[in-house]
Amino acid sequence: METVKQETLLEIDNLNFSFKTQRGLVRAVRDLSITIKKGETLTLVGESGCGKSVTAHSINQLNPMPPGRVDSGRILFNGTDLLQLKKGEIEKMRGTQISMIFQEPMTALNPVFTVGSQIADVFMTHQGMSKDEAMARAVELFHLVKIPAPERRIHAYPHQLSGGMRQRAMIAMALASPEPGLMIADEPTTALDVTIQAQILDLLGDLKQQVEMSILLITHDMGVVAEMADRVVVMYAGRKVEESDVNSIFNDPRHPYTLGLLNSLPSNPKYKHAKRLEAITGTVPDLLTIGDGCPFANRCAYATDICRSSFPSMSEINKDHSVWCHNHESVKREKAQ
Amino acid sequence: MSNPLVEVKDLKKYFHIKNEGATETVSLLKAVDGVSFDVFEGEILGIVGESGCGKSTLGKTVLNLYEPTAGEVLYRSRSVYAKNTQELKEQTKNMQMIFQDPYSSLNPRKKVAKIIGQSLDIHSIGTSQERSERIEHLMQEVGLNPLFRGRYPHQFSGGQRQRIGIARALALQPEFVVCDEAVSALDVSVQAQILNLLLDLQEKHNLTYMFIAHDLAVVEFISTRILVMYLGRVVEIARKEDLVARHVHPYTKALFIASPITSPDQRKGEKHIFQGDVPSPINPPTGCHFHPRCPYAIEQCRKEYPPMKEVAPGHFAACWVV
Amino acid sequence: METDIHEEIIIADPTPLQETWFHLKKNKAAMVGLGIITIFVLMAIFAPLISPYDPNAQVIDDRKTPMFTDGYIFGTDDLGRDMLSRLIYGARISMTIGVVSVGISLVFGILIGVTSAYFGGLYDKIVMRLIDIMLAFPYILLTIVIVSLLGPSLLNAMIAIGISQIPRYARVVRASVLAEKEADYVLAERALGARDTELMFLTILPNCLSPTIVQATLGVGEAILSSAGLSFLGLGAQPPTPEWGLMIASSKEFITNAWWIVTLPGIAILLAVLGFNLFGDGLRDILDPKMRN
């Protein structure tokens, strides 16, 4: 079902983020612009080092800021530039309008407090509820995320819960905010077993319908993208290389990297009787030595001279689908499936 | 596929876990709880299951990296365990392992050439010159530039480290290689490269693989036969095509259903997702371990663990309801 | 079929040693410490060349000469011996104390620590209990007992200090080995056929050296202090050895009328120990968090 509201909730405007290391400057995110509308699930997909996590962490200022710094850009949330907020102000945002769930719930939950009290804490601190009211709300939320026997479970400590339960508890915590704002889900199912992952994705899908919130989903798993995404942004070496609605990414990929990524999946139906996979050759370039050309050029089957010298500007395939590639026309002729 | 190269007979591996807080009480973790199967020469046997199913422990126990609690493993009809030190050392030439974590499976203080060539030193194979040539040859075979032989592991990417691990495993020219989640820690694009490499090497050297992984899609792609494990036991085993066409055991069904879709077009289907958590191998349920989560469970399932039945030629499953 | 050969361009990383040095240079305190250590080590090595006088030569007429007088830069002591020369030769002795004592502790501490962590079981339990007992003894008491058994001399003091510190090194090494021995690369080398001895000392131990090296560096400073303490009790160096602690002990009574005889050796001890402490602390800061890659 199409989302009716088209208002923009989050706008990342030309973000440039880098890290100062002893070996030099690492430009983790370059010229990145992303918009997320209300009620939309946007997926940032890419492999290690593509900058997706750094981008997500820039939103609520969770990147370690001495080695990291924002070189330029704005992140507008309902009109406010989050990058300009002071520490106290951003802390108020986190847990109220912007919530985050992490890959490893064990490290995100405080081990010395019960899960119930951690959720109740959010209510008591940010919404001024009493302890009893807050715990009652916590039980409600546990119900919402389908944790069985919620009245008992709110008194459990994180280590007493299974991985799947912990992840549900974390989602419950993320939903504790009063206004449905933005949920940032950073690889939420990567550390889970596949049967549990299926349950969590199912849950997130249900919640999407019930609670009107936008989700920024970070993942490297195309299966998760296929399940959850409304729109997809493909990142490579700190840059956005393709952006479209989820159907186009799978059925009509235009960037050689997107195509290569889809071809790397053993689950791709084309490999039903195949002996080998069509792998992308080479490895991700060292972010320290990257120049101004397209970072994918050294691995790209379609690369031409211009690719090595300049990063492509945007080419609009249609209003929902854009790609950053000098040779995307050549890619069009080849299909992933 | 001819004779069994490796025969696993009712293998058990239990661990003693100290309980939290308590003084000396110990729990028994039945990681591998009576596993039997054969591995035939030249095949790729995929072992798939979720965390706690014991597949990693199985791999290490088969190679005698863990001492078994009970049971037997035969390599070319001779026991892997009942050997003296010299024989055990000889045995390492036949069976090797490729490890999961490219960051912890290489000694950070050793240069790459030393890592790959260590086994040659240990077994005193060849002259210094010959060893050097072999190392160079191995590096090229796995797709590494021999010029990097003097570098340390931390100077390589994850995929390259995994290649180093593969070269190391192949140095002694083993026949049987256990791939313990060998591609699980790699990015998707690198994973594809390594899977291709493993297949190339298997063909070239006529290797036999026991390929352990939790990703069903990967196991499906690379294996010739697949074995499904749950909580320390084998629940189903069949040729790949047979298993994909027909999932007999309810847990196998659950695994396939839970597999992520490959395209948003598949979203419409109503999936009957199996609920419940993966139980801990410390206190497995009675009878069939899967019965608490199984929609088909009958009274018998709670009481007694089902035996392996041949449900079709070469296709076995341990379930009362089939 | 051959796979592609990948010609990735990797910036040539420095070796682990070069990297440690690079980080170390940034730590001013550690560099100061290193500087001090270097000075003392050079003093120790070139003592015969740089000493203006024979450290044991007694010049009766020049007894208790103050500093900067009559050609004696640091004055003379109550027997007319040149302080500077005695201090320089004292450096030689102190450095030797450091090396010998820490050497003994290291060798036996590593042996015990590695084997008990690797083999575990009853052996480990017994060894650890013995170590606990040794650690429960007051350190000075332990060294006194050992020296009394062996007889008072500088060499025996070094041995006593070395022995009394074995438990500490054993513990540090054991903890490190326990953590490392479960690593995949250890399992991998075992799968290749490596024997226990190779695994213990050539595979695991090199990866456990960081905390041990830090301990050893700080230990040199401690050994020098301990030796001074023992000399004070008459159990270490014997006269006329120019050991700093002994120099202080035999001139207590001159603190008011010839203060330099007592104070200068004290300052020497202070500087030497400070040097090792600064350097050791700097090493610890680098080796612990950063090297965890």
A187 touches B at CB < 8 Å: no
Distance from CA of B264 to the nearest CA of A (A): 5
Which residue from C184, C203, C206 is facing B101, i.e. has the nearest CB? Answer: C184
- Look at residue C60 and tell me if it is in a domain: no
Residue A59 has pLDDT above 80, yes or no: yes
Q: Do B93 and C7 touch (CB under 8 A)?
A: no
In sequence order, the 6+-apart residues with CB closer than 8 A to the CB of A171 are A101, A145, A188, A200, A203, A204, A207
| Omega of the bond leading into C240 within 30 degrees of 0 (cis) | yes
Tell me, yes or no, if A161 comes closer than 8 A to chain B by beta carbon: no
Averaged confidence pLDDT in chain A: 87
Quote helix, strand, coil % in chain C, to nearest 5. 75, 0, 25
* Tokens coding B153: 């592991």
Q: Which residues of A touch C (CB under 8 A)?
A: 22-23, 281-283, 286, 288-289
Say if C292 is an interface residue toward chain B (CB within 8 Å): no
Residues of B in contact with C187 (CB under 8 A): 60, 65, 97, 99
**Considering only residues 195 to 214 of chain A, which have any Cβ-Cβ distance to chain B shorter than 8 Å?**
195-199, 201-202
pLDDT at C290: 52
pLDDT of residue C13: 59
Show residues of chain C in contact with B119, CB under 8 Å: 192-193
pLDDT of residue A67: 86
Q: Is the pLDDT of residue A154 over 80?
A: yes
**Predicted local distance difference test score (pLDDT) of residue A111:** 86
Q: Which pLDDT score, from 0 to 100, does residue A237 have?
A: 94
Q: If you search the block for the tokens 């019960």, which residue do you land on?
A: A114
Q: Give the residue ranges of DSSP H helices in A12-70.
A: 52-59
A103-112, A278-287, A297-306, C98-107: least confidently modelled range: A103-112
What are C219-247's pLDDT values in tens digits?
A: 999 999 988 888 888 888 888 889 998 99
Distances (CA, A) of A60 to A38, A82, A144, A190, B164: 18, 7, 26, 22, 39
Give pLDDT, residue A335. Answer: 58
User: Are the beta carbons of B264 and A250 separated by less than 8 Å?
Assistant: yes
Are residues C188 and B154, on separate chains, in Cβ contact within 8 Å?
no
Query: Which residues on B lie below 8 Å from A276 (Cβ)?
Result: 196, 199
β-strands B44-48, B208-213 pairing: parallel
Question: DSSP code of A117?
Answer: H
- C189 is a domain residue: yes
Find the residue in B nearest to A189 (Cα).
B260
Q: Which segment, A32-36, A113-117, A331-335, is predicted with the most confidence on average?
A: A32-36
Residues of B in contact with C188 (CB under 8 A): 97, 99, 105-106, 165, 168
Instruction: Round to whole Å and give the CA distance between C147 and C159.
Output: 8
Residue written as token pair 């050791």: C280
CB proximity list for B152: less than 8 A, separation 6 or greater: B108, B109, B110, B111, B112, C13, C15, C16
The answer to whether residues A321 and A245 touch, using CB atoms and an 8 Å cutoff, is yes
Structural domain contains residue C59: no
* Residue-level pLDDT at B2: 64
User: Could you read off the pLDDT tens digit of each residue along chain B, which spans 322 residues?
Assistant: 467 999 999 999 999 887 655 566 778 899 999 999 999 999 999 999 998 899 999 999 999 999 999 999 999 999 999 888 888 888 999 999 999 999 899 999 899 999 999 999 999 998 999 999 999 999 999 999 999 999 999 889 899 999 999 999 999 999 999 999 999 989 999 999 999 999 999 999 999 999 999 999 999 999 999 999 999 999 999 999 999 999 999 999 999 988 888 888 888 666 677 778 878 888 888 889 999 888 888 999 999 999 999 999 999 999 998 7
Distance from the C268 Cα atom to the nearest Cα atom in chain B, whole angstroms:
38
Sign, Cα dihedral of C78, C82, C84, C89: negative
Q: What's the rounded Cα separation, in Å, for the pair C114 and C200? A: 7
Parallel, antiparallel or unpaired: strands A24-37 and B95-98: unpaired
Interface size, chain B vs chain C, as Cβ–Cβ contacts under 8 Å: 95
Q: Phi and psi (nearest 5°) for A15?
A: -75, 135
Give the Å distances, CA to CA, from B311 to A131, B127, C118. Answer: 58, 54, 48
What pLDDT does residue A95 have? Answer: 66
Contact B155 C187 (CB under 8 A): no
Task: Provide the pLDDT for residue C77.
Answer: 86
Contact A284, A300 (CB under 8 A): no
C140-167: average pLDDT? 89
pLDDT of residue C9: 43
C-beta atoms of C207 and B123 within 8 A: no
B263 contacts in A (CB within 8 Å)? 226, 250-251, 337
Domain residues of chain A, as ranges? 8-97+177-332, 111-176
**Integer Rg of chain C from CA:** 24
The structural domain count of chain C equals: 1
Q: Least CA distance to B115: which residue of chain C? A: C189
pLDDT of C205 strictly over 80 = yes
CA dist A337 → A223, A241, B211, B258, B261 (Å):
15, 20, 27, 22, 14
A192-226 burial: b if 16+ Cβ within 10 Å, else e: bbbbbbbbbbbbbeebbeeeebbbbbbbbbbbbbb
Determine whether the interchain pair A266/B192 forms a contact, defined as Cβ–Cβ distance below 8 Å.
Answer: yes
Answer yes or no: is pLDDT of A4 > 50.
no
* Chain C residues with a Cβ under 8 Å from any Cβ in chain A: 4, 6, 8-11, 22
Kindly provide the ipTM of the predicted complex, given to two decimals. 0.89
Which of B63, B104, B200 lies at the smallest CB-CB distance from C184?
B104
Question: Which has the minimum average pLDDT: A129-133, A241-245, C8-12?
Answer: C8-12
Q: At residue A9, what is the residue type?
A: L
The sign one gets for the Cα dihedral A97, A101, A102, A103 is: negative
DSSP state of A279: P
What local confidence, expressed as pLDDT, does residue B97 receive?
96
Q: Do C10 and A23 count as a contact with CB atoms less than 8 A apart?
A: no
**Cβ pair A260, A280 in contact under 8 A:** yes
Does the pLDDT of residue A337 top 50, yes or no? no
pLDDT in the model for residue A178: 63
Residue ranges and CATH numbers for the domains of chain B are 4-94+174-314 (3.40.50.300)
Task: Please give, rounded to a whole number of angstroms, the shortest distance from the CA of A230 to a CA of chain C.
Answer: 36
Q: Which residue has the higher pLDDT, B132 or A63?
A: B132
Q: Which CATH architecture has domain A8-97+177-332?
A: 3-Layer(aba) Sandwich (3.40)
Cβ–Cβ below 8 Å for C185 and B157: no
Mapped onto helix, strand or coil, the DSSP state of residue C72 is strand
- What integer is the mean pLDDT of A249-253? 93
d(Cα A314, Cα A323) in Å, to the nearest integer? 6
Is pLDDT above 60 for A1? no
User: Does residue C63 sit within a domain?
Assistant: no
Answer whether residue C42 is part of any domain. yes
Q: 3-class SS at B197? A: helix
The CATH number of residue C166's host domain is 1.10.3720.10
Question: What pLDDT is stored for residue A239 in this prediction?
Answer: 94
Cα–Cα distance between A226 and A203 in angstroms, integer? 15
Q: Measure in Å the smallest separation between the Cα of A275 and chain B Cα atoms.
A: 8
The mean per-residue pLDDT over the stretch A178-196 comes to 85
Contacts of A221 (CB under 8 A, 6+ apart): A189, A190, B260
Q: Which of A202, A221, A224 sits opposite B273 (nearest CB)?
A: A202
C64-90: pLDDT as tens digits = 888 888 888 888 888 888 889 999 999
Q: Are A107 and A186 in contact (CB under 8 A)?
A: no
Nearest to B192 among A48, A220, A279 (CB): A279
pLDDT at residue C30 tops 60: yes
Residue C213's domain comprises 28-53+69-290
**Distance separating alpha carbons of residues A81 and C34, to the nearest angstrom:** 49
Average pLDDT, chain C: 86
Helices and strands, number each (H, E), in chain A? 13, 12
Does A336 score more than 70 pLDDT? Answer: no
> Per-residue pLDDT tens for A205-221?
888 888 778 999 999 99
* Chain-chain contact of A226 with B266 (C-beta, under 8 angstroms): yes
